[in-house]
Structure 1
Amino acid sequence: MRRLFLSGLCATLIAAQAAADTQPVNQLPSDLKTLPDTIDRALSEFYTPGMSVGIVKNGKIVYLAGHGLRDKEQGLPVTPDTWFRLASVSKAFTATTVAQLVDEEKLNWHTKVEDVLPGFRMADPFASREMDITDLLTHRSGLGSGAGDSMLWPEPSGFSRQDIVHNLRFLTPQYSFRSEYAYSNVMYITAGEIVAHLTEDSWESRLQNRVFAPLGMDCFGGDVPGYVLENHAISYGHNDERGIYPIPRNQLAEKGIVSAAAGGVSCNATGMLKWVQMWLDEGKSAGGETILSEDAYNTMLTPQTLLSVDDTDEEWDHMHFKAYGLGWRLMDIFGHKVISHTGTLSGYQTYVAFVPDQQLGVVVLNNGSNYGARGAVMQTILKAYLPESDKRNWIDEYRAYQDKQEEKYLARHTTPSGSGEVLLPQNTYAGRFSDEWFGLMTVYPEGDTLRIKSDKMPTLTGRLEPFDDHTFVIRWDNQNAASDAFIRYQVNVKREVTGFTLYPFTEREITNHEWRDMVFTVDKE
């Protein structure tokens, strides 16, 4: 009871102090004196409006500053206290709340998921029976990368967390259980539901009381107070036609999001430096309170799932190993163990890293959609503190890397072509169609075209263009939120439409895609 009281008191004091601006800090070593200019050039080069950067070294903040704009239209600057969505950097917070339950002996790392959530079931019976707590946090469920993300994005989602856990049974495995690394957001949402179930509280509340409050972090896993919206970074994208443009659907709002345990935490550089310092202090807060036991701390930073080391890793970082722990990626860079995670959401790019043997922690938060900005800044900082490393112009390196990737994409990319006509009158394809887990989609006439809308995902709307036979192309209204897709109708011998499936707009054969487990049939209701 005393712990809860003190945590609540701490949270109250944090809120009371929120209006006090954190002053920028610049005590950079000589090798990094040009960092502010590098950050500004990275923002310009990679079409990113603003960025907040923090560095801790040997227990002291040596850099903390905002660069660029949090709101382009209003000309409002980023500060150290500007809030961003952390995207997948949130995963380490979820793993921490699980680790705390292990410390409390409410479960262990090998507790079976179905023993805690009786309704949990995967399509693979073996995975249903054997999946444990560690499996949820290590991206080895057997699902393909991103499976189930169609229930999360584009925001807002009409699926509840209970819906998401229930619908896991409809997702076809791409690999054998525990055989491959494949990134999974829905497994982290399931882990958040484990926390909620065992604590009889929301995951967000548990995170607030047991992590943010004792660390003095003015950060949030769910709903945010009004003062956050007075200094939050608006999310932006970029393309050649529109330039830099806002992405309203992903912006911070007072209401939390269903995917919070996978990617919905909101925080600022000031708060994140306290988080990184806790990891450098091996699970202790600045005041000496234990956030994680030694066993939990070490378990989270132990390799669980191996990751491949590619040519770029070897060239840039002299890397020999890379793995996923619990909410963190683990690797060596020029012989130093580096723990890090990135976060990627349309309009927010984040990167957090710490190097225990150098007592170094780095936080990079920005409100753009190009990973080059965060990557170039992070590489510049890390390499300045690792004496064995190469000193390069990392903006140029990332630009050259992206140019090469674009060349590869264009070399293999072809645009599908059809007759531009379908076999039946267009309105024949209109109607209400349902899938057993994704729910209802409606195709309806509007003028001389057909349109489509999702019942569960209200921003998933678009128009249908005839392609060929019984196939149309869906041009989604929000091209930033979803890529064009084929809608392939099934027609019976009476030339009656019976349903449809969806497929990416490509000539390539793709087995793992967001629509693979959806089969829509005519809705009878």
Structure 2
Amino acid sequence: MPTGRHTGVPARQQGRKIMKKLIIALASLMVVACGSYDTAQLQAIPADVKQSIHAAVDNGHRPAVVVGLINPQGVHFYAYGNTHADGATPISAQSQFAISSLTKLFTAQVLEEAVASGAVALNTQLTAIWPGLVDNADTQLIHLANHTAALPRNIGNDVLVSNSTEGLLQALTRSSQLPAEHEYSSVGMAILAQSLAQSTQSEFVTLLNESVIEPLGLEHTSYTPNLELLAGFHAGMTPLETPAATPSVAYGAGGLYSTPADLARFLQNQILQQRSLGWHRHDSNGYTAFYHGGEGSGHQTFMAYRPDNQVGVVLLTNTSADDALQDIALHLIDPRLELPSFEHPPYQRLSDADLAAFVGTYLLAENSANNTITLTSQEGRLIYHERTPEGETVRRSPLFAIDAHRFELQDVPVTIAFDEESPDANALLIFGDQKLTLTRATN
């Protein structure tokens, strides 16, 4: 699970302490008593969660937010904002969103239903489904579902443009010993969907409808959007065009549209059946949680649940914005985690080309422990990774762009500011009234 917010008020540190002590002090502020409620017993969305959602919308971070809490008491929604930034139609639990990679959870359930019916087994090999297939790793369906098939993360543009199953299956010509290390793969989930369709001599859409959508009564979940229900797409508060339709070859990895109400019903079934296939797992603070997110060109979605108390959360918004909105869902999963603040101006999303000048390894001039801080660029965001001289990770966290030269560390009040005139020069790490110098060691 993405890092929860562990914040509080650290004791003032005497002088300019070494970075190791600074980060340990921040990291030690693990969980504070932010919520005094038990989310398993709630019968409505708490007032502090509503307040956080209001701040996200009212302070210009996004047009609208919908949250749904699933617990043993029922399903509880709260929606705030409008379907379009320049409109007046209120968002609701019946508004439709592009759920992007949450589609993968539907694909995983199709696999589970196919196994239950005896159509396939988890260990069915792809060579048994596709005659003449060249698969140099003896891939099984389970390897695709749990992302251990040693396949690329993203589907190539040539495959998408040609909408070619044959082109998609070319990824299987790699040589690898399976199961490989977990590596998230849209390619693998797309192959899984195509393989399930092939094994039953059916279309994947038909399988999805018959085994998941219709049995669960998901009235507004489809690869074709309902334009009367569809929320507008935005980057921040700027409207975007509706994205192009997802090619059918990629249906296993993304492309579904759904509503908060439908997703809550889907999640209720996942909780009831204690499903974990296709989910990411997080173990922390005495419990296990499963989670998955989806982000497309103008919508963001997130789902999570805890098996121990049967609490689940769906969170949807009609924009692509770079902030900590997801922490609202994490707070409902564990109320000890702090709710996000949206008092700051909306963060910017920079290109990898813009971030290239900042990528490298840095040393803190005041750090006698010789910890290293490595900044890498990933999908338009800098990633902060601090290690001890022995290679032990002290902290790994995204950095949010305040502007083109200043970045904030997620979850803690630390800013890294680069010289605007010469971004390759030293940077300052700012914590409260302390300003510590970062010196570039390597590019």
TM-score (norm 2): 0.64
SS at match of 2:82: strand
For the residues of structure 2 that align with 1:398 and 1:191, how far apart are their CA atoms? 42
For the residues of structure 2 that align with 1:46 and 1:140, how far apart are their CA atoms? 40
Deviation at 1:343, TM superposition (A): 0.8
Residues 135 and 31 from structure 1, CA distance in 2 versus in 1: closer, same or farther, beyond 3 angstroms?
closer
2:57 pairs with 1:43: yes
Paired residue for 1:112? 125
Instruction: Please tell me whether the aligned partners of residues 188 and 261 of structure 1 are also in contact (alpha carbons under 8 angstroms).
Output: yes
Deviation at 1:164, TM superposition (A): 3.8
Paired residue for 1:33? 47
2:322 pairs with 1:331: no
Residue type at the aligned position of 1:237? A
Paired residue for 1:246? 239
Residues 46 and 400 from structure 1, CA distance in 2 versus in 1: closer, same or farther, beyond 3 angstroms?
closer
Residue type at the aligned position of 1:266? Y
Q: What pairs with 1:280-429 in structure 2 (closer than 5 Å)? A: 280-282=271-273, 301=276, 326-370=277-321, 372-384=323-335, 389-390=336-337, 392-395=338-341, 409=355, 412-413=358-359
Residues 37 and 340 from structure 1, CA distance in 2 versus in 1: closer, same or farther, beyond 3 angstroms?
same
2:87 pairs with 1:74: yes
Deviation at 1:166, TM superposition (A): 3.6
Paired residue for 2:234? 236
Instruction: Please tell me whether the aligned partners of residues 331 and 337 of structure 1 are also in contact (alpha carbons under 8 angstroms).
Output: yes
Instruction: Please tell me whether the aligned partners of residues 136 and 191 of structure 1 are also in contact (alpha carbons under 8 angstroms).
Output: yes
Residues 42 and 273 from structure 1, CA distance in 2 versus in 1: closer, same or farther, beyond 3 angstroms?
same
Which of 136, 141, 144 lines up with 1:133 in the alignment?
141
Paired residue for 2:254? 263
Residue type at the aligned position of 1:263? G
Q: For the pair shown, which has the larger CA radius of gyration, 1 or 2?
A: 1
Residue type at the aligned position of 1:58? P
Residues 30 and 399 from structure 1, CA distance in 2 versus in 1: closer, same or farther, beyond 3 angstroms?
farther
Deviation at 1:397, TM superposition (A): 11
For the residues of structure 2 that align with 1:69 and 1:116, how far apart are their CA atoms? 47
Residues 412 and 195 from structure 1, CA distance in 2 versus in 1: closer, same or farther, beyond 3 angstroms?
same
2:114 pairs with 1:101: yes
Residue type at the aligned position of 1:179? A
Residue type at the aligned position of 1:209? E
For the residues of structure 2 that align with 1:176 and 1:237, how far apart are their CA atoms? 41
Instruction: Please tell me whether the aligned partners of residues 208 and 220 of structure 1 are also in contact (alpha carbons under 8 angstroms).
Output: no
Residues 196 and 257 from structure 1, CA distance in 2 versus in 1: closer, same or farther, beyond 3 angstroms?
closer
Residues 275 and 30 from structure 1, CA distance in 2 versus in 1: closer, same or farther, beyond 3 angstroms?
closer
Deviation at 1:191, TM superposition (A): 0.8
Instruction: Please tell me whether the aligned partners of residues 305 and 333 of structure 2 are also in contact (alpha carbons under 8 angstroms).
Output: no
Deviation at 1:158, TM superposition (A): 2.3
Q: What pairs with 1:494-505 in structure 2 (closer than 5 Å)? A: none
Q: Highest relative contact order (Cα 8 Å, sep 6+), 1 or 2?
A: 2
For the residues of structure 1 that align with 2:102 and 2:161, how far apart are their CA atoms? 24
SS at match of 1:330: strand
Deviation at 1:411, TM superposition (A): 6.2
Paired residue for 1:165? 168
Paired residue for 1:57? 71
Q: Percent identity?
A: 22
Which of 70, 92, 99 lines up with 1:86 in the alignment?
99
Residue type at the aligned position of 2:328? V
For the residues of structure 2 that align with 1:349 and 1:144, how far apart are their CA atoms? 23
C-alpha deviations, 1:383-433, integer Å up to 9, x for none? 32xxxx34x242369999999xx9x9576249xxxxxxxxxxxxxxxxxxx
Say how many residue pairs are matched. Answer: 318
For the residues of structure 1 that align with 2:332 and 2:312, how far apart are their CA atoms? 10
C-alpha deviations, 1:5-46, integer Å up to 9, x for none? xxxxxxxxxxxxxxxxxxxxxx95699222222112123557
For the residues of structure 2 that align with 1:348 and 1:206, how far apart are their CA atoms? 26
SS at match of 1:246: strand
For the residues of structure 2 that align with 1:208 and 1:178, how far apart are their CA atoms? 30
For the residues of structure 1 that align with 2:62 and 2:247, how far apart are their CA atoms? 25
TM-score (norm 1): 0.54
For the residues of structure 2 that align with 1:395 and 1:346, how far apart are their CA atoms? 24
Residue type at the aligned position of 2:250? S
Instruction: Please tell me whether the aligned partners of residues 142 and 177 of structure 1 are also in contact (alpha carbons under 8 angstroms).
Output: yes
For the residues of structure 2 that align with 1:197 and 1:257, how far apart are their CA atoms? 14
For the residues of structure 2 that align with 1:327 and 1:399, how far apart are their CA atoms? 35
Paired residue for 2:379? none
| Alignment RMSD (CA, Å) | 3.4
Q: What pairs with 1:430-469 in structure 2 (closer than 5 Å)? A: none
Instruction: Please tell me whether the aligned partners of residues 165 and 186 of structure 1 are also in contact (alpha carbons under 8 angstroms).
Output: yes
2:273 pairs with 1:272: no
Residue type at the aligned position of 1:142? A
For the residues of structure 1 that align with 2:286 and 2:60, how far apart are their CA atoms? 30
Q: Is the helix fraction higher in 1 or 2?
A: 1
SS at match of 1:372: coil
Instruction: Please tell me whether the aligned partners of residues 204 and 220 of structure 1 are also in contact (alpha carbons under 8 angstroms).
Output: no
Residues 260 and 374 from structure 1, CA distance in 2 versus in 1: closer, same or farther, beyond 3 angstroms?
farther
The unaligned stretches of length 5 or more in structure 2 are: 1-40, 361-423, 425-443
